[in-house]
Amino acid sequence: MSSIAFYAVICVIAALVLYAQIQKTTRKIDENGTLANNSPEAARQISVQKYKDFCEIINGELRELKMKALYDDALKNEDLKEKFLESLSEMSKKLTFIETMNTARNPDKWESELFEVLSRLDDLVTENFKDGERAGDEIRQRLGAEFSKLQN
């Protein structure tokens, strides 16, 4: 009978040691975020990079719109060309500001800032281009497709 009690005590001690080691290991994983490289910091960096890349894509659209305004006679009124180009320049500066200042912010802040820029861009194109609705739709589709690519 005493040998059974001895083995039971050994089993309980082994179970406690095993439990303590599992707890210690999972705590380290939680603290370091090393499980499959899904650390909160790595996820934030991926998110930040995604939004920075999207800012660059939007800047590319702004450059394309500038070229259309300058060389393709795409504006409704040539008298407003300078104001339109100035607005594009301001939007580009704002995107650069967003990129540099939002590196430590959460995705909601990025999305809010980018939504504001994209809304302004849509209004600007609709108001100033000869076929503003169509041009705005094309830009929205291109940017939507590019953002979807960045999500993957």
Q: What's the pLDDT band for 35 if we cut at 50, 70, 90?
A: very low
pLDDT score of 86: 93
| Co-location of 27 and 45 in the same domain | no
Which residue from 43, 45, 50 is spatially nearest to 152, judged by alpha carbons? 50
| Co-location of 119 and 83 in the same domain | yes
Position 40 pLDDT exceeds 70: no
**Lookup result for tokens 């912010």:** 105
* Mean pLDDT to the nearest integer, 119-144: 88
| Co-location of 61 and 90 in the same domain | yes
Position 104 pLDDT exceeds 90: no
Rounded distance, CA 30 to CA 124, Å? 47
**Residues of the domain holding 2:** 1-32
| Co-location of 83 and 140 in the same domain | yes
Q: What is the tally of structural domains in the chain?
A: 2
Q: What's the pLDDT band for 120 if we cut at 50, 70, 90?
A: very high
